[in-house]
Amino acid sequence: MHRTAPRLARILACAAVPVMLVASGCSSDSDPKPEKPAATGEANGGGEGSAAESAKPPVKKSPAVEREKLAKLPDACKSIPRATVEKLVPETKSKSGTAGRSTDTMSRAGCSWNSLDDNGVKGSQYRWLDVSFLRYESDEALAVSGAQRAEESFAKELSKAQGTSGAKQVKTETVKGVGEQASAVTYRLRKTGEDFSYVTVVARTENAVVSLTYNGTGYAGAEPPAVADLSKSAVSATKDAVGAVTSANK
């Protein structure tokens, strides 16, 4: 009995103290020891992550897109020599031409001339000449060069001329010696009660596209101009316009 009394007293004393003291002072020596915290690298998976990243193949960079060679366009109204304008559009209202509207003349420009040459009882001859320029820059995001964009534009402009509403006797011929590629579209078109002869020449030089249209008709009994004659003059004028693009970028 004397041996159990001290043991019983000790148990009762532990039961009377707060729970926190029970956990620290009254626990037995057989309680398990706390585990050591895991190493930082292991807890974050650093070893495996680093290995995974190093195992990833290097990102392949797309080849650089060729930079556009033509940085600007010429003054459209000065792209065709004054002597040529006077020959193709006699008695023109404005020899200096009428510039087309553009908010960015380095990417888009144009000019036109027109005239009515009155020959009295022999009738009158009407002529219209216009030239337009489009310049394209390379697009890194789409991996397309300025020249490639110009090629696409060339095809669209040519298709537009070939698909002129109401056009008859439409013919397309490849033109050599004018830029990298060029084609002439000729046709007849009746409007304002008269038969007009038309020719549109579309040419590409590097990353620029040149479109030139030349048309005419006869009034008061005068015959309309021959398509072949207009075509020859239009091709020559287009060659001048393409040359103006080259000169503007020297």
Asked, for residue 187, whether it belongs to a domain, the answer is yes
Considering the domain boundaries, does residue 71 fall inside one?
A: no
Strand ranges inside 100-177, DSSP E:
108-118, 124-135, 168-174
Q: Which domain holds residue 13?
A: 4-55
Distance CA 84, CA 77 (A): 12
Average pLDDT over residues 37-46: 49
Read off the CATH number of the domain in which 195 is found.
3.40.1000
Domains in the chain, number: 2
Residue 222 belongs to a domain: yes
Specify if 199 maps to a domain. yes
CA–CA dist 214, 227 (Å, integer)? 10
Identify whether 64 is part of a domain: no
Q: Are residues 28 and 127 in the same domain?
A: no
Do 121 and 185 belong together in one domain? yes
pLDDT digits 0-9 by tens, 61-113: 556 889 999 999 999 999 999 999 999 999 998 899 999 999 999 999 999 99
> Does residue 21 sit in the same domain as residue 87?
no
Tens of pLDDT, residues 187-238: 999 998 999 999 999 999 999 999 999 999 999 889 999 999 999 999 999 9
Q: Which of 87, 215, 71 is nearest to 138 (CA)?
A: 71
34 is a domain residue: yes
* pLDDT at residue 171 is higher than 90: yes
pTM, 2 dp: 0.74
